[in-house]
Structure 1
Amino acid sequence: MGKTKWLPLIWVSLLTIVLLASLMVLERGRDYIGKQYFISDQFRMELDEFIEKAGPTVLNPLNPKEAKEQITVSQQEIEEHRNQYGSLADQIENIQMQYEDRIASAEGNEPFKSALIEERDAKIEDIRKNFSDDKHVEAKIRKEKEALIDTYMNELKNIREQVSGEYGYFAYSLENVNTGETFKRGELSNAIYKKEYDNNHGLLRVEAVSYSTNAGNEVAGIIGNQVQQFSGTIAIPKAAIDSMDYSHQYYEFKKTKYTIYAFILLGILALATILFKLKFNRNWFTGNKFSDWYNSIRIDWKAVLIFVNAMVAYAILINTMGVFLYNHYSMDWMNRILHFLFSIAFVGILIFQAVNIIGQYKNTEVLKNDLRNSFTFKLTIGIQDLFLNRSIGVQTLFLYAIAFAAGFGLLVVFMMPPAIIIYLPLFLFIALPAILILLNRAGYLNRIMKTAEQMAEGKLHQEIEIRGKSPLAQHAANLNKLREGVQSSISEQAKSERLKTELITNVSHDLRTPLTSIITYTDLLKNPDLTGEEREKYIEILDRKSQRLKTLIEDLFDVSKMASGNIELQKQRVDLTQLLQQALGEHEEEIMKSGLEFRNNIPDVPVVAYVDGQKWWRVLDNLIVNAIKYTLEGTRVYVTLRQNGSEAEFVVKNITKYELGENVDELFERFKRADTSRHTDGSGLGLAIAQSIVDLHGGRMKIDVDGDLFKVTVTIPVV
Structure 2
Amino acid sequence: MIKKWKSLLVLMCLIWTIFGVFTFYNVGYQYIGKSYFDSENFQHEIDNFTAELGPLVINVPNAEELKNKIEITQTEIEDHRNYYGTLGQQIDNIKAQYEQRIQEAIDANATELKTKLVSERDNKIKDITANFEDDEHVRKKILAEKEALIDKYIKAAKGESKNFGKNYDYWSYELTNTETGKTYRAGDVTESSAYKIKYTDRKPLYAWNISENLRDIFYNTETYVNVDDLYETAEYTGVIAISKKAAMSEDVIQGGYQQFQQFQRNQYTHYFIWLTSILMAVFVWRGRKDLLQIVTSMKEKDLLTKYKIDVQIILLLITSLMYFISAQVVFESIEYNSVYNYNYVRFILDIGFKIVVLMVIGSAFFVQLIWLYTRVNTLKKLEENVKSSYLWSLGDSLTDLFINRSIALHSIVMLAAAFFGGGSLVATMIGGGAFPVLVLGICMFIGFPAMIVFLSRMGYLNRIMKDTKDMAEGRLNRDVKVKGKSPLSGHAENLNHLREGVRTSMHEQAKSERLKTELITNVSHDLRTPLTSIITYTDLLKKPNITEEERKQYIHILDKKSERLKVLIEDLFEVSKMASGNIELHRSRVDLTQLIQQAVGEHKEDLTQSQLDLRMTMPHDPIFAYVDGQKWWRLIDNLIVNVLKYALEGTRVYVTFKRTADGDAEFTVKNVAKYEISEDAEELFERFKRADASRHTEGSGLGLAIAQSIVDLHGARMSIDVDGDLFKVIVRIPAV
What TM-score do you get using the length of structure 2 for normalisation? 0.54
Work out which of the residue numbers 260, 274, 292 in structure 1 matches 2:281.
Answer: 274
Letter aligned with residue 262 of structure 1: T
What is the 5 A alignment of 1:195-344?
A: 195-197=197-199, 202-209=203-210, 213=215, 219=226, 222=229, 225-236=231-242, 251-276=258-283, 280=287, 282=290, 286=294, 293-294=301-302, 297-298=305-306, 300=308, 301-325=311-335, 328-330=339-341, 333=347, 336-344=351-359
Find the residue that maps to 2:33 and give its secondary structure: coil
What is the deviation of 1:267? 0.6
For residue 353 of structure 1, what is the aligned residue in structure 2?
A: 368
User: Relative to structure 1, is the Cα distance of residues 713 and 491 closer, same or farther in structure 2, using a 3 angstrom cutoff?
Assistant: closer
Letter aligned with residue 330 of structure 1: N
User: Relative to structure 1, is the Cα distance of residues 391 and 293 closer, same or farther in structure 2, using a 3 angstrom cutoff?
Assistant: closer
Q: Alpha-carbon deviations, 1:140-189, whole Å to 9, x = none?
A: 55754664565466568778777765892363454545556665667865
Find the residue that maps to 2:207 and give its secondary structure: strand
User: Relative to structure 1, is the Cα distance of residues 239 and 563 closer, same or farther in structure 2, using a 3 angstrom cutoff?
Assistant: farther
For residue 415 of structure 1, what is the aligned residue in structure 2?
A: 427
Q: In structure 2, how many angstroms separate the alpha carbons of the residues matched to 1:161 and 1:275?
A: 64
Letter aligned with residue 352 of structure 1: V
Q: In structure 1, how many angstroms separate the alpha carbons of the residues matched to 2:714 and 2:149?
A: 67
Q: In structure 1, how many angstroms separate the alpha carbons of the residues matched to 2:242 and 2:710?
A: 96
Letter aligned with residue 340 of structure 1: I
For residue 388 of structure 2, what is the aligned residue in structure 1?
A: 377
What is the 5 A alignment of 1:511-660?
A: 658=676, 660=678
Q: Alpha-carbon deviations, 1:472-496, whole Å to 9, x = none?
A: 9987996897598579648746754
Letter aligned with residue 51 of structure 1: T
For residue 91 of structure 1, what is the aligned residue in structure 2?
A: none
What is the deviation of 1:625? 10
What is the deviation of 1:46? 4.1
Letter aligned with residue 234 of structure 1: I
Find the residue that maps to 1:416 and give its secondary structure: helix
Q: Alpha-carbon deviations, 1:236-260, whole Å to 9, x = none?
A: 5665787676666555544444433
Q: Alpha-carbon deviations, 1:268-301, whole Å to 9, x = none?
A: 1122233336975746994999766426632634
Q: In structure 2, how many angstroms separate the alpha carbons of the residues matched to 1:571 and 1:165?
A: 99
Q: In structure 1, how many angstroms separate the alpha carbons of the residues matched to 2:377 and 2:226?
A: 77
User: Relative to structure 1, is the Cα distance of residues 278 and 517 closer, same or farther in structure 2, using a 3 angstrom cutoff?
Assistant: same
User: Relative to structure 1, is the Cα distance of residues 415 and 512 closer, same or farther in structure 2, using a 3 angstrom cutoff?
Assistant: same
What is the deviation of 1:23? 1.9
What is the deviation of 1:47? 2.7
What is the deviation of 1:208? 2.3
Letter aligned with residue 689 of structure 2: K
Q: Alpha-carbon deviations, 1:597-628, whole Å to 9, x = none?
A: xxxxxxxxxxxxx999x999x99999999999
Find the residue that maps to 2:236 and give its secondary structure: strand
Indicate if the aligned counterparts of 1:623 and 1:687 stay in contact, CA closer than 8 A.
no
Indicate if the aligned counterparts of 1:622 and 1:687 stay in contact, CA closer than 8 A.
no
For residue 46 of structure 2, what is the aligned residue in structure 1?
A: 47
For residue 432 of structure 2, what is the aligned residue in structure 1?
A: none
For residue 666 of structure 1, what is the aligned residue in structure 2?
A: 683
Q: In structure 1, how many angstroms separate the alpha carbons of the residues matched to 2:638 and 2:251?
A: 98
For residue 194 of structure 1, what is the aligned residue in structure 2?
A: 196
Letter aligned with residue 209 of structure 2: A
For residue 675 of structure 1, what is the aligned residue in structure 2?
A: 692
Q: Alpha-carbon deviations, 1:391-447, whole Å to 9, x = none?
A: 7499799x89999899989949993346999999x99xx99xx9xxx9xx9xxx9xx
Q: In structure 2, how many angstroms separate the alpha carbons of the residues matched to 1:627 and 1:248?
A: 110
Q: In structure 1, how many angstroms separate the alpha carbons of the residues matched to 2:157 and 2:492?
A: 67
Q: Alpha-carbon deviations, 1:78-108, whole Å to 9, x = none?
A: 6x889x99xxxxxxxxx9xx989999x99xx
For residue 61 of structure 1, what is the aligned residue in structure 2?
A: 60
Indicate if the aligned counterparts of 1:174 and 1:233 stay in contact, CA closer than 8 A.
yes
What is the deviation of 1:206? 1.7
User: Relative to structure 1, is the Cα distance of residues 619 and 303 closer, same or farther in structure 2, using a 3 angstrom cutoff?
Assistant: same
Q: In structure 1, how many angstroms separate the alpha carbons of the residues matched to 2:728 and 2:17?
A: 91
What is the deviation of 1:37? 3.6
What TM-score do you get using the length of structure 1 for normalisation? 0.55
Indicate if the aligned counterparts of 2:295 and 2:370 stay in contact, CA closer than 8 A.
no
Indicate if the aligned counterparts of 1:68 and 1:146 stay in contact, CA closer than 8 A.
no
Q: In structure 1, how many angstroms separate the alpha carbons of the residues matched to 2:647 and 2:158?
A: 91
Q: In structure 2, how many angstroms separate the alpha carbons of the residues matched to 1:698 and 1:150?
A: 76
What is the 5 A alignment of 1:677-716?
A: 677-680=694-697, 683=701
User: Relative to structure 1, is the Cα distance of residues 156 and 674 closer, same or farther in structure 2, using a 3 angstrom cutoff?
Assistant: farther
Find the residue that maps to 1:677 and give its secondary structure: coil
Indicate if the aligned counterparts of 1:20 and 1:263 stay in contact, CA closer than 8 A.
no
Find the residue that maps to 1:673 and give its secondary structure: coil
Find the residue that maps to 1:268 and give its secondary structure: helix
User: Relative to structure 1, is the Cα distance of residues 192 and 64 closer, same or farther in structure 2, using a 3 angstrom cutoff?
Assistant: same
What is the deviation of 1:20? 2.0
Indicate if the aligned counterparts of 2:639 and 2:707 stay in contact, CA closer than 8 A.
no
Q: In structure 1, how many angstroms separate the alpha carbons of the residues matched to 2:586 and 2:19?
A: 92
Per mean C-alpha deviation after superposition, the further-off stretch among 150-159 and 323-332 is: 150-159
Q: In structure 1, how many angstroms separate the alpha carbons of the residues matched to 2:149 and 2:583?
A: 75
What is the deviation of 1:673? 3.4
Q: In structure 1, how many angstroms separate the alpha carbons of the residues matched to 2:635 and 2:248?
A: 99
Find the residue that maps to 1:297 and give its secondary structure: helix
Letter aligned with residue 388 of structure 2: F
Per mean C-alpha deviation after superposition, the further-off stretch among 317-326 and 330-339 is: 330-339
Q: In structure 2, how many angstroms separate the alpha carbons of the residues matched to 1:60 and 1:155?
A: 14
What is the deviation of 1:594? 9.1
Indicate if the aligned counterparts of 2:196 and 2:240 stay in contact, CA closer than 8 A.
yes
Q: In structure 2, how many angstroms separate the alpha carbons of the residues matched to 1:671 and 1:376?
A: 74
Q: In structure 2, how many angstroms separate the alpha carbons of the residues matched to 1:700 and 1:140?
A: 66
What is the 5 A alignment of 1:75-154?
A: 126=132, 136-137=134-135, 140=138, 144=142, 147-148=145-146, 150-151=148-149, 154=152
What is the deviation of 1:330? 0.8
Find the residue that maps to 1:274 and give its secondary structure: helix
Q: In structure 2, how many angstroms separate the alpha carbons of the residues matched to 1:258 and 1:244?
A: 21
User: Relative to structure 1, is the Cα distance of residues 29 and 628 closer, same or farther in structure 2, using a 3 angstrom cutoff?
Assistant: farther
User: Relative to structure 1, is the Cα distance of residues 461 and 120 closer, same or farther in structure 2, using a 3 angstrom cutoff?
Assistant: farther
What is the deviation of 1:320? 3.4
Q: Alpha-carbon deviations, 1:531-586, whole Å to 9, x = none?
A: 9x999x999999x98999899799969997999998999999x9xxxx9xx99xx9
What is the deviation of 1:321? 2.9
State the aligned residue count.
Answer: 609
User: Relative to structure 1, is the Cα distance of residues 356 and 187 closer, same or farther in structure 2, using a 3 angstrom cutoff?
Assistant: same
For residue 456 of structure 1, what is the aligned residue in structure 2?
A: none
Per mean C-alpha deviation after superposition, the further-off stretch among 316-325 and 187-196 is: 187-196
Indicate if the aligned counterparts of 2:174 and 2:184 stay in contact, CA closer than 8 A.
yes
Indicate if the aligned counterparts of 1:169 and 1:240 stay in contact, CA closer than 8 A.
no
- Give unpaired runs (5+ residues) of structure 1: 86-94, 130-135, 452-459, 596-609, 638-644
Letter aligned with residue 230 of structure 1: Y
Q: Alpha-carbon deviations, 1:195-231, whole Å to 9, x = none?
A: 34455x74433222457847599645646x4333334
User: Relative to structure 1, is the Cα distance of residues 20 and 67 closer, same or farther in structure 2, using a 3 angstrom cutoff?
Assistant: same
